[in-house]
Structure 1
Amino acid sequence: MTTSSVRHGGKVLVECLENQGVRRVFCVPGESYLSALDGLYDSDVDTIICRHEGGAAMMAEAHAKATGEAGVAFVTRGPGATNASSGVHVAFQDSTPMVLFIGQVASDQRDREAFQEVDYRAMFGPLAKWVGEVDRTDRLPEYISHAFHVAQSGRPGPVILALPEDILSADTNAMPVPVAVLPSGRAAESDVTSVLEMLQEAERPLIIVGGGAWSESAGLALGEFAKATGIPVGASFRCQDYLDNRHPCYIGDIGIGINPALAERVKSADVILALGTRLGEMTTSGYTLLTPPVASQQLIHVHADPSEIGRVYRPKLAVVANAGEFAKQLAAAAPSTALPASSWMSDARNDFDTWQKPVETPGDLKMEQVITHLNEVLEDDAILTNGAGNYSAWLHRYYRYRSWRTQLAPTSGSMGYGLPAAIAAKLEYPDRDVICLAGDGCFQMVSQEFGTAMQYGANVIVLVSNNGMYGTIRMHQQKRYPKRPSGTHLVNPDFAAFAESYGGFGATVNNQAEFVSALARARAANRPSILDLKVSPTALSPRALLETID
C-alpha cells in the first residue's frame, strides 16, 4: 500500500505493517497508542484483542514460530510493557522474530517520570535485539523497516519500538518502505566441503539441531542428508519437530529428562555438528554433555550469529550461516547413494525406541496413557503446545512429532505459554487440531486468555494436568528437603466449570476411559474446550515418584 496523502502517524504505521506482509497483530488496547488502533480500524490487518499483555506477546511469538513471519504485538506504556516482557524473553531465548510496539508518553514529557513513563532502551536492552523510539512522525517508515530487518536477520529475535503518543498522532505524508529484504544466510561452498570432510572422517558423528530460522523445507533437507549419510540426529530442547520422529535417523530430544543412553551417546561422539543450536544449559544438561570451553568431542558449530560461536565452546570448525539454509546445502552436497546403516546409527535408534515404551506411573489417570492416546488419534499435522512444568516431561518423552511446527513450546521455560500459543496457532490453522497441555499452575497464569479463544472462535483443546501443586518445584523439594513441602500447594477451581462459564466445553476426567471419551467430545464440540485431568500427585514425572504428600 502506497500513498502520498497526509494522514496521522497511526495510519502510516499500519500501512508500513501491511507492506511488511503483517496479517495479524495481538494487543491489549491503551490510550497511549490510540492513533495506531485507529489506523487498524479500516485496514486488512486482523486485530486480536487479548486479556493480558503477557498473553498478547506470547501469541505474537507463537504466531511467528508457526508461520515463519515476524510476530507483532501492541501494548500500552508502563505496566503494559512490563507485562509484555515475559513474551519478549521467550522470543529472545527462542530466537523468534517479533516486533513489539509500545505506546510512550508524549515527547515533550520525557524524562519527567510522567504517568507510566519507562525508559524502554534501559528496560529491554538485555531482552531484545534492538530497542528504538521514534523521534519524528516522518521517520516512522524508516524505524519500522529497520525493526523488521533486525528482527528477521541473522539470529532472529524480538525488537522493541516505542511510539510517543504525540508523534503517533501527528500528520505526515511519509511513504511506507517496501518489505524487508533479508540476506540468504547461505554459507560459502568451502564451508560445506569442510563440514562434510569432518563428518566423513568421523567414526561416531552426531547432529544436534535447534535454533531459529528453520522451515519445513529445511527439515526435509535435514532428513535427506541424515538418510544419505547415516548420521543420527538429536533435537535440542523443545525442537523435536525439526525432523519427523519416525525418521530412521532421529534418536530423540537432547534436553530436560534426557534418555540416559542418549546422554552417553552425546558424550561418546567424536564429532558433533551443532546445527543452529546454541548448545545452552538445557541441551547440554548443565554444560556437562560437552565440557566447556573445549569439549572432548570435535565440535562443528553452525550458527547465524557470529558472536554466539565461541561464547561457551571453542569449535573445531565454525560456520556463520542460517542453519536451515545450511541443511539444504548439506543435502545438495550429500552422496547420491545412501550409506548402509552403521551400528552407531542403529543402536542409537534402538535406544530411542526403547525409551519410547511407556513406564507406568501411579493413579487411575496416567499421563503416559494420555500421550499414547494422542499419538494414536491425532493427525500428523496436529499442533501441540505447552508451557513449563513436569507435566510436559511425558509429552517430550512419549509424543512423536511427525510434521514441521507441530511443537510450540518455549525453550526459555516460561510458564503460561501453552494457551496463548494454542490460540495463535488455531487462528492461523483453524482446520487442524490444536492441543494445549498445561499444568494447573501453568494454566492459571494465563487462564483469562480462554476468553480470547472464545471471542475469536479459536477452538483449542486444553488438557490441564491437575495435581494440586507446583509439581516441578515440589519434585525439587522432595530431592533436597524431603518431607518438607513449602510454597507449592494449590487450591484450584473447577476447570471444567470454568470453561462452561465462558460458553466452552468442559469435562472432568478421572481415568483413561473417561479421557478417551472426553477428548472425542471436545474434538467434536466446535468450541474451545478444557479437560480437567485429575492426575495423581505422587506421579511427579515419568521417573520421579512421591511416596507421600506431607
Structure 2
Amino acid sequence: MTPQYPARTGGQVLIDQLIRHGVDTVYGVPGESYLAALDALHDASVRMVVCRHEGGAAYMAEAHGKLTGRPGVCFTTRGPGATNALVALHTAEQDATPLVLFVGLVPRGHTDRRSFQELDLRATFGACAKRVETIDDAARIPEYIARAFATATGGRPGPVVLGLPEDMLTDTVRVSDAAPVPEPEGAVSTSQLDALAELLDAAERPLLVLGGSRWTPGARADLRDWAEAWSLPVAVDFRCQDLLDNDSEVYAGALGYGRSDALATRLRDADLLICVGAAPGDVTTDGFTLLTADGTEPRVVLALPEAGAPGLLRAPDLTLLAAPQAFGLAVRNLRPAAPVAWAARTKEDRAAHLAHRAPVHDDDRLDLGAVFAELDFRLPHDTIVTFGAGNHALWAQRFLTYRDGARQLAPRNGSMGYGIPAAVAAAIAHPGRQVVSVAGDGCFLMNGQELATAVAEGAAPLVLVVANGTYGTIRQHQEQHYPGRVSGTGLVNPDFAAYARAFGAHGETVAATEEFAPALDRALASGTAALIELRTEGRLAPGETVARPGKEHQDG
C-alpha cells in the first residue's frame, strides 16, 4: 500500500528539506520568483536573514559554511539578483567552502523566450559551481536537495546552484522527505601508514603544511598532537591560521601573501613535504618556484579528501584519499621510535616565526603596530576574525594570535568586500563570541551596507577600518613598478564613524595611538555593532609607506 503523505506546496517541501538537513539560518534578498518559499519560511524554525545586497547575502552564506563545515544557504531572485551573488560562488569554489545557492526562476512556460530577468543558470554558474540544476518537478525537491547538500560537502567541498521555477514552487504534491547523505571521510590503510613512516624516517628536513577545508576540532587536535610528538614544523596555507594553535611550539607560520622570508626558505629547503587538506598551490609556493629550488624537489605526501588534486608539477610520492579527520585518526598513534634529527631546526623555525610576528612599530601618529598588539592582548581566545582582501589584512594575519577555539574567516581567492558580511554571519551564528573584522577603506565600502543587517539582527561585530585613502595594494605595486605615476588608486572617504552611527551602530574615529584603547573599551561596551575608523597617513603595510613602498606580498 502506497503511503499517504500530506499535500504540500513546492515551497513548503523545499523548506522542510532544509530543516531535515539541519539548516537553521538562510541568507538572502527577497524576490517575487520565490514567494512560495518565503511564505513557507514564515512559520518555519529556519531564520531568514534579510540582507541589503545579494553579494553580501552570498558572502554571509559562504562564511557560515566556513564556520560550521555545513553548507551555507542563500536565496536570490533571478537575473540581476543571481548574478550579484556570483562573486561569493567564486570564493566558495576557490576556498573549498560548502554553499547552496537557490535562485528563483521564471515560470517553466516562459523559458527560452528572453523573459523578464531570465537567466541560463548553467552558463552563468557552471564555471564556479560543483553542480548546477533546475528543479522542474516539485515532487523531486527532496531528491535534489539531498544531492545538493551531499555534493556541496563531499570530497573537496564547494558551491551548488539550484534553480527554482516560480510556478514549480506553487505546485501541490505528496512526497516523502529525503534523509541526508553521509559524507565519506576516506581512510589511511596500514600499508600507507607504513609508507609514511618510512618517508619520515628517511627525511632530514620535513615540513607539514595544513590547508583546505573539512577540518573538525578533532582533526585539529590530532594533527597538533602528532606534529608535536614528531617535532614536525608546521606551516599553514594562506588564510588558514586557525588550523593549528599558534602558541604550539611547532607552529612555524603562514605561507602565501604576507609570509616571512624565513618560512619561504624553509619550504624551499624541505626534503619531505606532507600536505594535509590541500595540495600546495601557486600562492603557497610563490608561483610553484619554492618547490623547484636548485632544480630539486622534495618528496611529497598528499592527504586530500578527493583524488586528482591539481597544483603539483609531478606525481606525489604518496597519495592518501582522506579528509583531515580521517588522516588525524590514522596518524595519532604513529610515534617516532627515537628522537628525530630535525628537532633543533624546528626550534629555529619557531623562533623565526616569533620574530616575524612581533609588532612592527611605526613613527606615525597612529602606530598600527601598537594598535594590533593591544587588540591581540585584549581579544578572547575564541575570537572570530574576518577580513577581505588588501594590504590592511597584513596586520590581522601577522599580528593576531589564533589559538584553540579562534577562527579566521577570510577569502583565499582575494575577494574584496568579504569581511563585513562574514563578520555579520559569524556574529549571528555565535552571539556570545567576540567577532572582529579588519577592513580597508576600499574593501569596507564594497559591502559596508551590511551593517544595516547587523543592526537589524542584533548582531554585534566589531569593525576596524584601516583608512589610508587609497587602494593600498595596487598603490604599492604602482610605486614599485611605475614610481611617481599614481593612477586610479586614490579614494575619497566618508566619515566612517558617522556612517556606522547612521545605521544605529556605535562609531568612533581614532587618529592617534593613545586614543585606541579607550575607543576599544567604548566599542566593546556598546552592546551593538561597532566601528572604529583608524585614520592613517600614507601607511601601505607594516613598515611600508607611500614613500617606502617595499615589496611586501599581498593580494588584491
TM-score of the superposed pair, with normalisation by structure 1: 0.96
Q: Is the 8 A contact 1:228 1:339 kept in 2?
A: no
Give the CA deviation at 1:299: 1.0
1:488 and 2:489 are equivalent in the alignment: yes
Q: Is the 8 A contact 1:295 1:313 kept in 2?
A: no
Give the CA deviation at 1:228: 0.6
Q: Is the 8 A contact 1:27 1:53 kept in 2?
A: yes
Give the CA deviation at 1:311: 5.6
How many residue pairs align between the two structures?
546
In structure 2, what is the equivalent of residue 394 of structure 1? 395
Post-superposition Cα deviations, 1:490-541, rounded to whole Å, max 9, x if no partner, equal 111111111111111101001121111111111100011110110121x211
In structure 1, distance between residues paired with 2:255 and 2:311: 20
Corresponding residue SS for 2:49: strand
In structure 1, distance between residues paired with 2:105 and 2:350: 54
Q: Is the 8 A contact 2:472 2:540 kept in 1?
A: yes
For structure 2, the residue ranges without an aligned partner over 5 or more in a row are: 550-556
Post-superposition Cα deviations, 1:197-234, rounded to whole Å, max 9, x if no partner, equal 21222000001110010111111111100111111000
In structure 1, what is the equivalent of residue 322 of structure 2? 321
Structure 2 vs 1, CA of residues 3 and 67 (structure 1 numbering), >3 Å: closer, same or farther? farther
Q: Is the 8 A contact 1:56 1:84 kept in 2?
A: yes
Give the CA deviation at 1:109: 1.1
In structure 1, distance between residues paired with 2:548 and 2:327: 51
In structure 2, what is the equivalent of residue 461 of structure 1? 462
What are the equivalent positions in structure 2 for 1:61-76 lying under 5 Å apart?
Answer: 61-76=62-77
In structure 2, distance between residues paired with 1:248 and 1:198: 23
The one-letter amino acid paired with 1:481 is Y
Corresponding residue SS for 1:379: coil
Q: Is the 8 A contact 1:387 1:438 kept in 2?
A: yes
Q: Is the 8 A contact 2:282 2:311 kept in 1?
A: no
The one-letter amino acid paired with 1:159 is V
Corresponding residue SS for 1:69: coil
In structure 1, distance between residues paired with 2:179 and 2:511: 55
In structure 2, what is the equivalent of residue 378 of structure 1? 379
The one-letter amino acid paired with 2:101 is L
In structure 2, what is the equivalent of residue 544 of structure 1? 544
Structure 2 vs 1, CA of residues 161 and 391 (structure 1 numbering), >3 Å: closer, same or farther? same
Give the CA deviation at 1:543: 4.4
1:58 and 2:55 are equivalent in the alignment: no
Structure 2 vs 1, CA of residues 333 and 57 (structure 1 numbering), >3 Å: closer, same or farther? same
In structure 1, what is the equivalent of residue 516 of structure 2? 515
Structure 2 vs 1, CA of residues 274 and 171 (structure 1 numbering), >3 Å: closer, same or farther? same
Corresponding residue SS for 1:521: helix
Q: Is the 8 A contact 1:228 1:336 kept in 2?
A: no
In structure 2, what is the equivalent of residue 242 of structure 1? 243
TM-score of the superposed pair, with normalisation by structure 2: 0.95
The one-letter amino acid paired with 1:365 is L
Corresponding residue SS for 2:463: strand
Give the CA deviation at 1:358: 2.1
Corresponding residue SS for 1:126: coil
Which range moved further: 193-202 or 311-320? 311-320
What are the equivalent positions in structure 2 for 1:98-497 lying under 5 Å apart?
Answer: 98-291=99-292, 296-308=297-309, 312-335=313-336, 342-404=343-405, 406-497=407-498
Which range moved further: 295-304 or 98-107? 295-304
Give the CA deviation at 1:357: 1.9
The one-letter amino acid paired with 1:384 is V
In structure 2, what is the equivalent of residue 10 of structure 1? 11
In structure 2, distance between residues paired with 1:83 and 1:303: 32
Structure 2 vs 1, CA of residues 487 and 331 (structure 1 numbering), >3 Å: closer, same or farther? same
Structure 2 vs 1, CA of residues 222 and 119 (structure 1 numbering), >3 Å: closer, same or farther? same
The one-letter amino acid paired with 1:327 is G
In structure 2, what is the equivalent of residue 39 of structure 1? 40
For structure 1, the residue ranges without an aligned partner over 5 or more in a row are: none
Q: Is the 8 A contact 1:474 1:488 kept in 2?
A: yes
The percent of aligned pairs where both chains have the same amino acid is 43
In structure 2, what is the equivalent of residue 500 of structure 1? 501
Structure 2 vs 1, CA of residues 295 and 30 (structure 1 numbering), >3 Å: closer, same or farther? farther
In structure 2, what is the equivalent of residue 535 of structure 1? 536
Structure 2 vs 1, CA of residues 152 and 268 (structure 1 numbering), >3 Å: closer, same or farther? same
Q: Is the 8 A contact 2:78 2:118 kept in 1?
A: yes
Q: Is the 8 A contact 2:26 2:48 kept in 1?
A: yes
Give the CA deviation at 1:328: 2.8
In structure 2, distance between residues paired with 1:312 and 1:142: 39
Q: Is the 8 A contact 1:66 1:405 kept in 2?
A: no
Q: Is the 8 A contact 2:10 2:170 kept in 1?
A: yes
In structure 2, distance between residues paired with 1:310 and 1:440: 34
Q: Is the 8 A contact 1:21 1:179 kept in 2?
A: no
Q: Is the 8 A contact 2:142 2:178 kept in 1?
A: yes
Q: Compute the RMSD of aligned alpha carbons.
A: 1.8
